């Protein structure tokens, strides 16, 4: 009897491990394939395309980073996304801080309205936005992307920051208030540093969503302000598709996001569910 009980979980555990490894392989095989193809020459990729063993070459990365326009697309992405992350954190804190401190019906309604913006598909607003931004001559400028990304990330950031600010003990602020600090100083000198890990994670997640965007960038960016995700699709030409180059470029696009997610890992679940699951 006792033997049976001991043996059954063991068999089950190894079965679990086998299924677990199999599932992991399904999810990472395409990604491994992308990274590998990025190091292949055209010949290696197409003549014997199932080979796992080959002499890696850096030719694709040289092409992507030095010979094509992709480098400037990366710079554009980096500029637009970083600016929007700074703006997102500033504007969202402005909303989230009072929201975390003042309990009123109006505030709750405002919070619900902000989160409801998350439901609207971007394609619905993009046409009027395009016309609007074109009228004020912002299409083709990096600022149209900065504004749109900030808009896109504020709802998420407000909800996350509100949760993080709420966790700062009220007593510390009350003490500071007695010492005569105004609410602006209290926020920047006390609340912000105390909730720094949360604020940084919010910034990192905003970075991820803006960096991965393609729809807004594809429509709003001009010839000189292509982002990395748009630049990626430009390796597809009527003459032919430079697949190995695209895979190298794709790897470059993806790596900053992986790093950001790894850094924010502790708050990833919270961030992806707008703070509702901790």
User: Contact region for other proteins (CB under 8 A) — 9-17, 53-61, 66-74, 194-202?
Assistant: 9-17
Assess 105 for contact with other proteins (CB under 8 A). Answer: no
Assess 13 for contact with other proteins (CB under 8 A). Answer: yes
Say if CB 217 and CB 227 are below 8 A apart: yes
Closest distance between other proteins and the C-beta of residue 196, in Å? 19
Closest distance between other proteins and the C-beta of residue 33, in Å? 6
Assess 117 for contact with other proteins (CB under 8 A). Answer: yes
| Among positions 5, 102, 178, 239, the unique one binding other proteins when judged by CB under 8 A | 102
Assess 239 for contact with other proteins (CB under 8 A). Answer: no
Q: Which is nearer to other proteins, 29 or 75 (CB)?
A: 29
Closest distance between other proteins and the C-beta of residue 87, in Å? 9
x-marked contacts with other proteins along 162-181 as a string, rule CB under 8 A: ----x---x---x--x----
Q: Which of 133, 148, 141, 168 is nearest to 87 (CA)?
A: 148
SS3 (DSSP) at 241: strand
Distance (Å, rounded) from C-alpha 255 to C-alpha 262? 11
Closest distance between other proteins and the C-beta of residue 259, in Å? 10
* Tokens found for residue 197: 């890990």
Instruction: Report CA-CA distances (Å) from 175 to 108, 181, 186, 194, 257.
Output: 27, 9, 10, 15, 40
Sign of the Cα torsion 226, 228, 230, 231 reads positive
User: Contact region for other proteins (CB under 8 A) — 61-69, 125-133, 191-199?
Assistant: 125-133
Closest distance between other proteins and the C-beta of residue 193, in Å? 18
| Among positions 50, 55, 179, 240, the unique one binding other proteins when judged by CB under 8 A | 50
Helical spans, DSSP H, in the chain? 2-38, 42-46, 59-62, 70-101, 105-116, 122-135, 142-166, 170-178, 183-185, 192-194, 196-212, 215-220, 228-233, 243-263, 268-272
**Binding to other proteins in span 182-221, by CB under 8 A:** 183, 208, 211-212, 214-215, 218-219
Say if CB 164 and CB 240 are below 8 A apart: no
**Binding to other proteins in span 74-93, by CB under 8 A:** 91-93
SS3 (DSSP) at 68: coil
């Amino acid at each position: 009897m006792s033997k049976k009980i001991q043996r059954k979980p063991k068999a089950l555990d190894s079965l679990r491990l086998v299924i677990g490894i199999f599932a992991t392989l399904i999810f990472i095989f395409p990604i491994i394939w992308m990274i590998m193809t990025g190091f292949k020459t055209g010949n290696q990729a197409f003549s014997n395309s199932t080979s796992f063993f080959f002499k890696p070459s850096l030719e694709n990365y040289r092409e992507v980073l030095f010979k094509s326009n992709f480098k400037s697309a990366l710079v554009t992405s980096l500029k637009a996304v970083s600016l929007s992350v700074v703006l997102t954190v500033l504007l969202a804190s402005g909303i989230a801080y009072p929201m975390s401190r003042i309990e009123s019906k109006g505030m709750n309604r405002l919070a619900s309205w902000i989160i409801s913006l998350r439901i609207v598909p971007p394609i619905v607003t993009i046409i009027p936005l395009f016309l609007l931004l074109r009228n004020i001559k912002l299409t083709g400028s990096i600022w149209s992307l900065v504004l749109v990304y900030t808009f896109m990330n504020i709802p998420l950031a407000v909800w996350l920051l509100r949760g993080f600010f709420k966790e700062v003990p009220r007593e510390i602020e009350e003490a500071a208030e007695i010492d005569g600090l105004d609410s602006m100083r209290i926020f920047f000198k006390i609340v912000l540093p105390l909730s720094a890990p949360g604020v940084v994670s919010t910034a990192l997640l905003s970075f991820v969503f803006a960096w991965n965007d393609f729809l807004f960038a594809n429509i709003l960016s001009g010839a000189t302000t292509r982002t990395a995700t748009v630049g990626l699709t430009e390796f597809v030409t009527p003459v032919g598709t430079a697949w190995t180059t695209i895979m190298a470029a794709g790897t470059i696009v993806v790596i900053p996001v992986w790093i950001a997610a790894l850094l924010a890992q502790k708050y990833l679940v919270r961030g992806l569910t707008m703070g509702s699951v901790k």
